[in-house]
């Protein structure tokens, strides 16, 4: 998988995580503008968590090719 393909996959997976969170809260039909700050933060946390999982899997599978990603996750 190319870097661009991986980025597209991560974007889709993060969007799905946000959608799942919205469905779980019963707010998928409401506009984003009605969500509270804690709800927006929870959505972002779900998307970030999904990114961390996918990035960790990519690093595990190809550690030598993902040094920048490793540095990002390790801070």
When pLDDT is cut at 50, 70 and 90, the band that residue 71 belongs to is very high
**Could you give the CA distance from residue 6 to residue 9 in angstroms, rounded to a whole number?**
5
- Residue 5 and residue 23: Cα distance in Å, rounded? 27
pLDDT range class, residue 70, cuts 50, 70, 90: very high
DSSP sequence for 14-63: HHHHHHHHHHHHT-TTS-GGGS-HHHHHHHHHHHHHHHHHHHHHHHHH-G
Cβ atoms of 54 and 10 closer than 8 Å: yes
For 12-53, how does the pLDDT look when each residue is reduced to its tens digit (9 = 90+)?
Answer: 999 999 888 888 888 778 888 888 999 999 999 999 999 999
Distance, CA of 73 to CA of 49 (rounded, Å): 11
């Amino acid at each position: 998988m190319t870097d661009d393909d991986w980025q597209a996959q991560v974007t889709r997976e993060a969007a799905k995580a946000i959608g799942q969170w919205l469905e779980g809260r019963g707010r998928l039909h409401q506009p984003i503008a009605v969500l509270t700050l804690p709800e927006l933060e929870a959505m972002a946390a779900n998307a970030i968590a999904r990114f961390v999982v996918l990035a960790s899997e990519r690093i595990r599978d190809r550690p030598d090719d993902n040094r920048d990603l490793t540095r990002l996750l390790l801070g």
